[in-house]
């Protein structure tokens, strides 16, 4: 009999890649369900194509590269689902397939697979698609259904409309919260996002530092620049990005103080892009920029290793 010896303490943790990804999927279900309800069956097709394409891309790559097939860890499902939720419901169905290929192959697998990518795969894929296919990625439509009493008239077919970032006075705060507004499938219903956030906090999948500082800095800086802080937070993808994308384990800092810096940085960049940039929204680019800064944040906030002597110049 072979015995393995290792230093204590010894305990069995609940967390594994699969259980963490499953928690994220469960947290995304309210947002996905709300998006499908609001935008109809077309939204379901976009999500299905994105998820299936992501899983197939990872499976085929790992088979061709003769690596262990790890689609069972559900990370590809999460990437595809988040990518699909970041797209309008009326995009051509070939676009989520291409986006999933970019996210899985170019961003994730070419850098060594899960745990080795330096940027959020879904975010970088969305950024590339926004630059490459801006017309298709900004086909924002009114919901085909509405939730509750609202000033927005539901449309029987896809009707293009300006987002709340472009016409903030066109929608009430209730519409912004419930999702009776144009936008991407996952970003519109803020109430569903908050439910997912509370679930992940409850099970310990994420901590509060990044989402709270992200959203708080957007609200504070928007107020200082003369904008309505509530509208700034409820418009666009701030909440979705803060909860489901900025909290990615691989691409954010390791320590809590780093999380605070990361969240504040994301919020500041979002407001700067919205206020002074040519894009009405800046969540995608803010998160990507802070992903690249993460190694520096980790260096600045690293703890002293006990038992070592600091080198003097």
| Mean pLDDT along residues 57-74 | 87
Spatial contact of 65 and 110, defined as CB atoms under 8 Å apart: no
User: Which residue segment(s) compose the domain that 168 sits in?
Assistant: 17-301
Instruction: Look at residue 259 in the predicted model and tell me its pLDDT.
Output: 92
CATH assignment of the domain containing 234 = 1.10.3430
The predicted pLDDT at position 266 comes to: 95
Which residues, in sequence order, are CB contacts of 146 under 8 Å at separation 6+? 38, 152, 153, 154, 178, 180
Averaged pLDDT, 285-301: 90
Q: Is residue 192 part of a domain?
A: yes
Decide if 11 is inside a domain: no
Q: For residue 21, is it within any domain?
A: yes
Number of domains present in the structure of the chain: 1
Q: Give the confidence band of 1 by pLDDT, cuts at 50, 70, 90.
A: very low
Determine, yes or no, domain membership for 241. Answer: yes
Find out whether 47 and 95 touch, Cβ atoms under 8 Å. no
| Position 1 in a domain | no
pLDDT at 306: 57
Question: Does 8 fall in a domain?
Answer: no
How do residues 113-125 score in pLDDT, each as one tens digit? 776 777 889 999 9
CA distances to 64, 147, 148, 162, 174 from 151, in Å? 53, 11, 10, 15, 9
Whether residue 42 is contained in a domain is answered as: yes
The answer to whether position 309 is within a domain reads no
Q: What is the pLDDT of residue 15?
A: 63
Which pLDDT score is estimated for 164?
Answer: 66
Asked if 189 and 35 count as a contact pair (C-beta separation under 8 A), the reply is: yes
Task: Give the pLDDT confidence of 157-202 residue by residue, as tens digits.
Answer: 555 555 667 666 678 888 889 888 888 999 999 999 999 999 999 9
pTM: 0.86
Cα dihedral sign, 60-61-67-70 = negative
Q: Can you give the pLDDT at residue 312? A: 55
- The span from the CA of 273 to the CA of 280, in Å, is 7
């Amino acid at each position: 009999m072979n015995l393995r010896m290792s230093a204590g303490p010894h305990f069995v943790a609940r967390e594994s890649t699969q259980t963490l990804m499953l928690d994220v999927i469960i947290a995304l279900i309210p947002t996905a369900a709300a998006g499908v309800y609001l935008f109809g069956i077309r939204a379901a097709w976009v999500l299905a194509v994105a998820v299936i394409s992501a899983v197939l891309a990872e499976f085929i790559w790992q088979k061709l590269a003769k690596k262990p097939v790890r689609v069972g860890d559900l990370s590809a499902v999460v990437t595809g689902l988040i990518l699909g939720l970041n797209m309008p419901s009326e995009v051509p169905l070939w676009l989520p397939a291409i986006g999933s290929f970019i996210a899985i192959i170019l961003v994730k697998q070419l850098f060594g697979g899960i745990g080795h990518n330096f940027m959020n795969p879904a975010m970088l894929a969305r950024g590339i698609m926004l630059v490459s296919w801006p017309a298709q990625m900004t086909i924002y439509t009114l919901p085909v259904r509405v939730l509750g009493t609202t000033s927005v008239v539901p449309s029987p077919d896809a009707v293009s409309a300006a987002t709340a970032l472009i016409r903030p006075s066109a929608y009430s705060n209730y519409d912004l919260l419930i999702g009776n507004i144009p936008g991407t499938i996952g970003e519109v219903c803020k109430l569903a996002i908050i439910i997912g956030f509370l679930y992940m906090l409850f099970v310990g999948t994420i901590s509060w530092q990044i989402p709270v500082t992200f959203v708080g800095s957007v609200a504070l800086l928007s107020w200082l620049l003369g904008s309505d802080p509530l509208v700034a937070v409820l418009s666009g993808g701030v909440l979705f990005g803060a909860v489901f994308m900025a909290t990615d384990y691989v691409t954010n800092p390791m320590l809590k103080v780093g999380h605070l810096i990361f969240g504040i940085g994301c919020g500041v960049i979002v407001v700067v892009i919205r206020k002074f940039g040519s894009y009405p929204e800046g969540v995608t680019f803010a998160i990507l920029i802070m992903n690249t800064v993460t190694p520096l944040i980790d260096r600045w906030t690293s703890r002293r290793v006990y038992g070592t002597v600091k080198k003097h110049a």
